[in-house]
């Protein structure tokens, strides 16, 4: 069956009779993400809401005031997923989510154009494609695609868009000889009766079930984001078309504006300034590490030189690094001292890292109490507990717990 959406991709409203309404628990699939669903599948006499197929995601919209969350094709029927039932025999008003539909039309027609140029002019056939929520890609039967080829393909596609070539749809029967000249990229296997051929004048003929623009000028612009390794020796060529290009540019401009405010410099100098900041940060971190190593050695010597060797050491330094704490542990290993070391996570001040190095007897007595107070998670191995503290607000309680334990030891 050819649906109304396939006859006229630009139709935004339509009325049709409800033929069937059945309960369903089939999940919703949105750009590859699966979500549980309990509701109803509605079958109409005809529909302007495109059911997922040919690499193109489903439309969304409304049946009367009821949101349509998914549309799937099963044989010759389109199943509309809604939360509430609709009366069989009633006539419902269909309204399309036009922003989503037109976006899919731009990406799908653009993919036809892109795949045609890649195959016809560069011998790079498309083996599959993916229309994602933010960007899309074509999978090419090639291990690698050079950057200069990507740029030439982009320029060629944009030149054809500027030529405003017409895009037409032709309906053919399965035995029509015209089908011999058409490609079948992404056509569902059970489309065997009336077939649609999408023609980009002088560029491509491709059998397809999806919704398309009527002129390449409606694509506005194509931007290729680069080629990257795909599966099994293939290459994925990522792309944006039309409104996605302008939306992405707006996002990038907002990010650039924010960086300009943070870096106090013009955009053309951002790269140089960030490189300088990274170099300075590397030097600062090196100096900090040297200082912390010296401080760790100082703490170790101070403890070792005490007139009376302490039974325990409790050390909570917010800024301490894991390397600092490990150095303390290493320096006091074998001294028979109970060590409790804690530090904060830089970006999560209520959480942190803890290390407990102990004689086993003390660990058995204190370990579970300490981890309970600090909501700690970790593992005890080779006389040492290392893990995370989920709540450092109990650090003082933890200190008193350790003090009381050793003060009460006989």
Range of the domain at 342: 293-407
Give, as one character, the DSSP assignment of residue 231.
S
Last residue of a domain, one of 65, 96, 127: 96
Report d(CA 181, CA 188) in Å as an integer.
18
Please list, residue by residue across 68-94, b when 16 or more beta carbons sit within 10 angstroms of its beta carbon and e when fewer do: bbbbbbeeebbbbbbeeebeeeeebeb
Residue 348's pLDDT band, with cuts at 50, 70 and 90, is confident
Last residue of a domain, one of 250, 281, 308: 250
Q: Any idea how long the chain is?
A: 410
Report d(CA 241, CA 12) in Å as an integer.
21
Residues 171 and 204 in one domain: yes
**CATH number of the domain to which 131 belongs:** 3.30.980.10
Does residue 256 belong to any structural domain of this protein? no
- What mean pLDDT is reported for the chain? 91
Does residue 276 belong to any structural domain of this protein? no
Backbone angles phi, psi at 149, to 5 degrees: -70, -45
Identify the helix (H) or strand (E) that includes residue 145: none
Does residue 375 belong to any structural domain of this protein? yes
Report d(CA 116, CA 366) in Å as an integer.
70
At residue 336, the pLDDT reads: 84
Average pLDDT on 383-392 reads 85
SS3 167: strand
Q: Between residues 101 and 373, which one has the greater pLDDT? A: 101
At residue 194, the pLDDT reads: 73
At residue 357, the pLDDT reads: 83
Residues 22 and 144 in one domain: no
Does residue 258 belong to any structural domain of this protein? no
Does residue 262 belong to any structural domain of this protein? no
Does residue 145 belong to any structural domain of this protein? yes
Residues 188 and 202 in one domain: yes
| pTM, two decimal places | 0.78
Query: Is 80 exceeded by the pLDDT of residue 19?
Result: yes
Residues 91 and 115 in one domain: no
In the 3-class helix/strand/coil scheme, how is 8-57 assigned residue by residue? CCCCCEEEEEEEEEEEECCCEEECCEEECCCEEEEEECCCCCCCEECCEC
- Using CA atoms, how far residue 289 sits from 208, 270, 317, 319, 341, in Å, is 61, 28, 15, 12, 17
Query: Is 80 exceeded by the pLDDT of residue 360?
Result: no
Return the structure tokens found at 38.
């309990």
First to last CA, the chain: 88
Q: What would the pLDDT profile of 28-87 be if each residue is shown by its tens digit?
A: 999 999 999 999 999 999 999 999 998 999 999 999 999 999 999 999 999 999 999 999
pLDDT above 90 as % of the chain:
66
Q: How many domains does the chain have?
A: 3
At residue 1, the pLDDT reads: 72
Backbone angles phi, psi at 349, to 5 degrees: -60, -20
Report d(CA 321, CA 329) in Å as an integer.
13
Residues 41 and 130 in one domain: no
């Amino acid at each position: 069956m050819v649906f109304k959406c396939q006859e006229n991709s630009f139709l935004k409203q339509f009325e049709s009779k409800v033929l069937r309404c059945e309960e369903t628990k089939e999940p919703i699939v949105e750009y590859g993400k699966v979500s549980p669903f309990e509701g109803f599948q509605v079958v109409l006499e005809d529909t302007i809401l495109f059911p997922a197929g040919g690499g193109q995601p489903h439309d969304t919209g409304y049946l009367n005031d009821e949101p349509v969350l998914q549309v799937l094709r099963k044989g010759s029927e389109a199943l509309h997923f809604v939360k509430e039932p609709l009366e069989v025999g009633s006539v419902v008003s269909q309204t399309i989510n036009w922003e989503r539909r037109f976006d899919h039309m731009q990406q799908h027609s653009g993919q036809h154009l892109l795949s045609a140029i890649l195959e016809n002019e560069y011998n790079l056939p498309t083996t599959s494609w993916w229309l994602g929520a933010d960007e899309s890609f074509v999978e090419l039967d090639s291990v690698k695609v050079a950057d200069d080829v990507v740029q030439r393909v982009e320029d060629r596609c944009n030149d054809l868009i500027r030529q405003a070539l017409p895009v037409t749809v032709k309906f053919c029967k399965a035995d029509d000889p015209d089908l011999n000249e058409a490609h079948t990229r992404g056509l569902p296997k059970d489309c065997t009766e009336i077939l649609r051929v999408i023609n980009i004048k002088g560029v491509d003929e491709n059998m397809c079930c999806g919704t398309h623009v009527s002129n390449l000028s409606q694509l506005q612009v194509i931007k290729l984001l680069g080629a990257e390794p795909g599966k099994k020796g293939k290459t994925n060529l990522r792309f944006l078309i039309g409104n996605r290009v302008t939306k992405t540019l707006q996002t990038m401009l907002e990010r650039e504006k924010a960086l300009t405010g943070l870096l106090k410099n013009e955009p053309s100098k951002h790269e140089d300034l960030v490189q300088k900041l990274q170099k300075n940060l590397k030097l600062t971190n090196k100096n900090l590490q040297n200082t912390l190593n010296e401080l760790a050695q100082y703490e170790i010597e101070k403890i070792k030189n005490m007139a009376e060797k302490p039974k325990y050491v409790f050390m909570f330094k917010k800024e301490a690094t894991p390397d600092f704490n490990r150095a303390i542990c290493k320096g006091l290993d074998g001294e028979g001292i109970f060590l409790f070391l804690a530090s904060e996570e830089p970006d999560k001040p209520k959480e942190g890292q803890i290390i407990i190095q102990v004689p086993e007897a003390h660990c058995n007595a204190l370990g579970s109490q300490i981890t309970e107070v600090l909501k700690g998670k970790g593992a005890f191995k080779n006389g040492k507990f290392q893990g995370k503290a989920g709540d450092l607000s109990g650090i003082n309680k933890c200190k008193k717990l350790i003090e009381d334990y050793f003060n009460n030891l006989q």
